[in-house]
Amino acid sequence: MFAGIISDFGQIRAIAATGDQRFEIATRYATGGIDVGASICCSGACVTVIDKGPDWFAYTASAETLARTTMGNWRIGRPVNLERCLKMGDEIGGHLVSGHVDGVATVLTVTPDGASLKLVIRAPEALKPMIAAKGSVAVDGASLTVNSIDGAAFAVNIIPHTRDTTTLGNLRTGDAVNLEIDVIARYVARFLALD
């Protein structure tokens, strides 16, 4: 589990096809304290560390992950939001995030809103009923509050700190983002579908 609080701004340093796809991510994390087998959230997707060096770690993405996230379009040099997994007793400053991407959403508009940025994002239609005003979503792994909704579109504000310490400040109209809905909404939707 994660909290949606981005703690490093990594960058893809290598990509290799190995049956699946292997990604190497440059990081400022002290990788000596990261075990092989540990989970790290990479722009919203929980991955398993399979190799590491002094300033990088590697993971493998399956065809399923590549098809259901934005990872299939990632290229060397791309910035990546990073978060280490929570430990028992850690503060949850955002909301509970599983790192299981529910769908790829599209940025419709990016406009200044005071010192912040207002993003309007269109979710996949199937996720529309699970997004609520003043509820939580994770966009590329960052915990955000939904300001308003209009059909499958929802608005969020990116404060200056988040703009400067995540990839969200660089988003443009038409960009694809990994979207995870609130875990409670996911289970409520599943429960209601059983009726």
Q: Is residue 2, in this structure, part of any structural domain at all?
A: no
Helix/strand/coil for 19:
coil
pLDDT for 11 beyond 70: yes
Same domain as 121, residue 51: no
CATH number where 187 lies:
2.40.30.20
pLDDT for 195 beyond 60: no
Q: Is residue 94, in this structure, part of any structural domain at all?
A: no
Asked whether the beta carbons of 34 and 143 are under 8 A apart, the reply is no
pLDDT for 28 beyond 60: yes
Structural domains counted in the chain: 2
Q: Is residue 98, in this structure, part of any structural domain at all?
A: no
Q: Using CA atoms, how far apart are residues 133 and 82, in angstroms rounded to an integer?
A: 26
Nearest Cα to 117, choosing from 147, 77, 152, 79? 147
Q: Is residue 41, in this structure, part of any structural domain at all?
A: yes
Domain boundary among 37, 54, 84: 84
- Residue 30, domain extent: 8-84
Same domain as 185, residue 156: yes
- The CA-based angle 46-116-5, given to 5 degrees, is 25
Same domain as 183, residue 113: yes
Same domain as 140, residue 69: no
Q: Which of 86-90, 110-114, 119-123 has the lowest mean pLDDT?
A: 86-90
Helix/strand/coil for 126:
helix
Asked whether the beta carbons of 120 and 153 are under 8 A apart, the reply is yes
Residue 187: its pLDDT value, please?
A: 75
Same domain as 161, residue 134: yes
pLDDT for 57 beyond 80: yes
Task: Provide the greatest CA pair distance for the chain.
Answer: 52
Q: Is residue 73, in this structure, part of any structural domain at all?
A: yes
**pLDDT class of 143 with cuts at 50, 70, 90:** very high
Strand partners, 156: 119
- Secondary structure percentages of the chain, helix, strand, coil, to 5: 20, 45, 35
